[in-house]
Structure 1
Amino acid sequence: MGNREDLMAGAKRCLYEKGYGRTTARDIATASGVSLAAIGYHFGSKDTLLNAAMIEAIGEMGEALGAVVYGANQVSDDPEVRFAAVWNGLRDVFVEHRGLWAAQFEALAQAGHNPELARALEEVQKEGRLGLAAVFQGVTEVPDNDEELARGTFYQILLAGYVAQWLAAPELAPDGFEFLRGLRLVSGSVLGADAGAPGADATR
């Protein structure tokens, strides 16, 4: 790898080990085995490098999410069983990538005071939502349309809430069957007998 790739790898390692807010330029240089000056040469600033590393690391973690969902979707022909299996499987991803999940929440908290970071996060929102829509359906990609964006947004909100609960108190985080029970209750109370029926979307 060249210096640029080494810096990206080092920055990602720092995100996992030190988080977003506590990572310094010297931390990245040390983790990368590259000089401090190389950060400015290749990326302009530590923040630009760290933001790029965050986006790339999230994409790599998305591949791990996809593998878990794919495996869970093979356990049964019953969509409810698959739904529960997916959320149970995601706990392993939380354990493996805990540092990055925590770093993302740190970054979100700072985005309001960091325009460059806010732009970086905003630019990947649509792509991220479509990616989640694809992952949770077990396909490689989905059309860029309102339906898939709505589906991806729903999963994004569920996932973010689950991560927050797991980071705060993992012993209280729900399992897949609790997710399924909640989905049934909410769908029944909001949509009633029309839940999942064709044409049930009253917002259009």
Structure 2
Amino acid sequence: MGNREDLMAGAKRCLYEKGYGRTTARDIATASGVSLAAIGYHFGSKDALLNAALIEATGEWGARLAAVVARAGEASDDPEERFVAVWDGVKETIAEHRGLWAAQFEAMVQVERVPELRNALAEAQKGGRLGLAALFQGLPEVRDTEEEMSRGIFYQALLVGMAGQWLAAPELAPGGRDFLRGLELVGGSVLKGAAGADWHGPAADRPGPAG
């Protein structure tokens, strides 16, 4: 690898081990075996390098997520069981990449003080939502439509919520069946109210799965 690639690898290692806010330029230089001056030469600043490393590391996690979704799809033809398997798998990837998720939450807290970070995260957010929608729906390609964006917003909310709860208290973090039960109850309540008294959702006509 060249200096640029070494710096990126070192920055990602620091994100996992030290977090976003505590990582210094010297930490990255030490982890990558590259001089401090090379950071400015290749990336302009330590913050720009960290932002790029955070986005790239998230993309690598996305590849792991895709494997989880594919495995769940092969395990069952039942949509509910696939939903449960996917979200149980997502929970596993969060545990495996705890350092990355901690760094992401830390970075989000700092966006008010770091405009370039806000811009980087905002730019990645739309693509991330559409990517999640395509992934969870099993679509062969990303579709930039209003419907897919709405799906992506929903999936992203579940994902970030699960990650935040796992970081705060892993033993209390929800799993796939918790999400399925919540979807039945909330969806049943909201859609029943919209469609009238004749609507019958999953929660109305059968017991939900155990939490």
- Aligned amino acid, residue 37 of structure 1: A
CA contact (8 A) 1:66 1:138 kept: no
Partner of 1:69: 69
What residue ranges of structure 2 are gaps of 5+ in the alignment? 193-198, 202-211
Write out aligned runs for 1:1-204 (5 A): 1-192=1-192, 193=199
Partner of 1:201: none
Q: Aligned partners of 2:67, 2:138: CA distance in 1, in Å?
A: 9
Displacement of 1:134 = 1.3
TM-score (norm 2): 0.90
How big is each residue's C-alpha offset from its partner over 1:23-49, in whole Å with a ceiling of 9 and x where there is no partner? 000000001000000001111100000
Displacement of 1:178 = 1.2
More divergent stretch after superposition (70-79 vs 109-118):
70-79
SS of residue matched to 2:112: helix
SS of residue matched to 1:161: helix
Partner of 2:204: none
CA contact (8 A) 1:130 1:149 kept: yes
SS of residue matched to 1:66: helix
Identity across matched positions, percent: 72
TM-score (norm 1): 0.93
CA contact (8 A) 2:91 2:163 kept: no
SS of residue matched to 1:42: helix
Q: Aligned partners of 1:41, 1:194: CA distance in 2, in Å?
A: 62
Q: Aligned partners of 1:2, 1:31: CA distance in 2, in Å?
A: 14
Q: Aligned partners of 1:174, 1:105: CA distance in 2, in Å?
A: 18
Q: Aligned partners of 2:165, 2:98: CA distance in 1, in Å?
A: 12
Q: Aligned partners of 1:74, 1:173: CA distance in 2, in Å?
A: 25
Q: Which has the larger radius of gyration?
A: 2
Displacement of 1:143 = 1.2
SS of residue matched to 1:73: helix
Q: How many residues align?
A: 196
What residue ranges of structure 1 are gaps of 5+ in the alignment? 196-204
CA contact (8 A) 2:134 2:143 kept: no
Displacement of 1:194 = 7.9
Q: Aligned partners of 1:80, 1:127: CA distance in 2, in Å?
A: 26
How big is each residue's C-alpha offset from its partner over 1:36-93, in whole Å with a ceiling of 9 and x where there is no partner? 0000111110000000000111111111111111111111111011001111111220
Displacement of 1:140 = 3.9
- Aligned amino acid, residue 128 of structure 2: G
